[in-house]
């Protein structure tokens, strides 16, 4: 049998319809290289497993009896993967024709690069800022907070999101989004996979951080294009995901930045994250009340 060059692995939780579209986008325009698709289902209750068994019997399916989260789910899937490369892919994505071949070809030509992020577009074709610099307190302070609304063009957010660049050229970047993250399986195993402390969120940032620390490169590669509709699963439990996101941000800070932070400033980091999370939860509550009032 020919060598399997690529494993496309997806962890799914109650995203049946986006998942169906994601898989159709691959099988409708399959890559020329030898590949496999592997789906781990995180105890979905929306008929995802039944849909997969009926419509995509050829793919590898792992069914978990409980929700393992993103990191643990992908680590488990990777242990069953055969590909030389892994494409970590969200179920709310659609792979554009030629993207998978382009990623594998670029990786084969550049063995010094360990992690590659394709260009990610929103469903309307606009750019999604999927490669970024590592988090910093200033960007966290301004991004998605009242300060950010007062100063929308502040340099801290621009630098973090890398908005001063058109994203049409290959570039080394700090980290790329786990919505579509291409990595050599050998390196994924060497790094121990995703850190399972992160149920979801920041696990991609952490993986890229550890890759750089180990002497490997992370690159943004715009010749491979994938569309991504953010939050199709997480929108189902928005408040829980807000808490999970900020918890993951704190875990990332504690793991990589805390020792370098002036000791008297350290207590302000969790306080700031808690305040930021509270603002998001408050906004969600106000929006929910407004929707109920409008339905009356």
pLDDT tens figures, 162-202 = 998 999 999 999 999 999 999 999 999 999 999 999 998 99
What is the C-alpha separation between 223 and 170, in angstroms, rounded? 8
Whether pTM exceeds 0.85: yes
pLDDT digits (tens, 9 = 90+) for 151-165: 677 877 888 889 989
Please say whether the beta carbons of 83 and 100 come within 8 A: no
pLDDT at 214: 95
Q: Which of 106-115, 208-217, 260-269, 273-282 has the lowest mean pLDDT?
A: 260-269
User: How large is the angle between the packed helices 268-295 and 238-256, nearest 10 degrees?
Assistant: 170
CATH placement of domain 6-129+167-229: 3.90.550.10
Above 70 in pLDDT, residue 291? no
Please say whether the beta carbons of 190 and 214 come within 8 A: yes
Residue 206 CA to its chain's centroid (Å): 11
């Amino acid at each position: 049998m020919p060598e399997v060059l690529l494993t496309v692995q997806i962890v799914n939780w109650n995203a049946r319809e986006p998942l169906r579209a994601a898989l159709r986008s691959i099988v409708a325009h399959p890559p020329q290289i030898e590949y496999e698709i592997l789906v781990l289902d995180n105890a979905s209750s929306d008929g995802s497993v039944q849909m997969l068994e009926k419509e995509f019997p050829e793919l590898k399916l792992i069914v978990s009896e409980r929700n393992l989260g993103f990191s643990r789910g992908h680590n488990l899937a990777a242990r069953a993967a055969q590909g030389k490369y892994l494409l970590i892919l969200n179920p709310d994505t659609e792979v554009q024709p030629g993207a998978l071949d382009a990623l594998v070809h670029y990786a084969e030509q550049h063995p010094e690069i360990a992690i590659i992020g394709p260009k990610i577009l929103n469903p309307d074709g606009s750019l999604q800022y999927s490669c970024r610099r590592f988090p910093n307190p200033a960007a966290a302070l301004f991004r998605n907070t009242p300060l950010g609304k007062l100063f929308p063009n502040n340099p801290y957010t621009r630098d973090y999101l890398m908005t001063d660049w058109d994203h049409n050229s290959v570039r080394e970047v700090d980290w790329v989004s786990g919505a579509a993250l291409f990595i050599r399986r050998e390196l994924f195993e060497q790094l121990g996979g995703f850190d399972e402390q992160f149920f979801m969120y920041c696990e991609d940032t952490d993986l890229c951080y550890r890759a750089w620390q180990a002497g490997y490169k992370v690159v943004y590669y715009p010749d491979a294009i994938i569309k991504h509709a953010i939050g199709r699963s997480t929108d189902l439990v928005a408040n829980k995901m807000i808490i999970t996101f900020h918890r993951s941000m704190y875990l990332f800070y504690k793991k990589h930045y805390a020792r370098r932070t002036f000791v008297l400033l350290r207590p302000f980091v969790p306080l700031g994250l808690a305040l930021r999370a509270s603002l998001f939860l408050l906004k969600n509550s106000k929006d929910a009340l407004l929707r109920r009032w409008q339905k009356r």
